[in-house]
Amino acid sequence: SVLDMCAAPGSKTFQLLEIIHRSNQPGSLPSGMVVANDVDVQRSNLLIHQMKRMCTANLIVTNHEAQNFPGCRLSKFHHRSSDVELTKDLSIDQLLFDRVLCDVPCSGDGTLRKAPDIWRKWNTGMGNGLHSLQIKIALRGMSLLKVGGRMVYSTCSMNPVENEAVVAEILQRCGDSVELLDVSDELPQLVRRPGLKKWKVRDKGLWLSSY
């Protein structure tokens, strides 16, 4: 099970569904599912429209604030192979996810080359204003993750306040319950560079070296 917390317009959700279907045996339906969430109603409608191309039953689309994404509970069903009977158990389990994609709202300054209109509204304080929301969304994603599961945190920004600073805050708050994974061996062709360990923050005309 995968949760895409800020899914619209749906390109990453589509890739997740492709992976679920690709990993299944030919001729059989996959048992996994993707829950794709977005806070914006119009963008959620766009997400649904995009996902129609996949023609899959393994998708649930929700419309919630990611930082307040509600807990989901599932009834247990048991299948008896002898008489093909489904019986419902009265016990209820909370749905936790094997994987969580946390592609949070951001300033988008990493997309300036393809979206030059961002320059007209961009300013140095945008990352500061989004930092708190990004942390809240990421922490909610962590709380919905199974033990041993993985969460990917991503943005379209190059601002360390929206990236390294958020990850550092998550690690500090969660302590030993989470760890940062090195996936170099799993993604050898991904171009990367080490993250920043210190950065300056401009706020109200001042430069702060610790944030």
- Residues of each annotated binding site for S-adenosyl-L-methionine: 6-12, 38, 103
Q: CB 39: neighbour CB atoms within 10 A?
A: 19
| Residue that the structure tokens 């379209």 belong to | 156
3-state secondary structure of 165: helix
Residue 149 near residue 98, CB atoms below 8 Å = yes
Cα 31 → chain centroid: 20
Whether 174 sits among the annotated catalytic residues: the reply is: no
Catalytic residue among 72, 106, 156, 174: 156
Please give the structure tokens belonging to residue 80.
């008896």
**Which has the closest alpha carbon to 101: 151, 171, 45?**
151
Distance CA 77, CA 152 (A): 31
Q: How far apart are the first and last CA of the chain?
A: 35
Catalytic residue annotation: 156
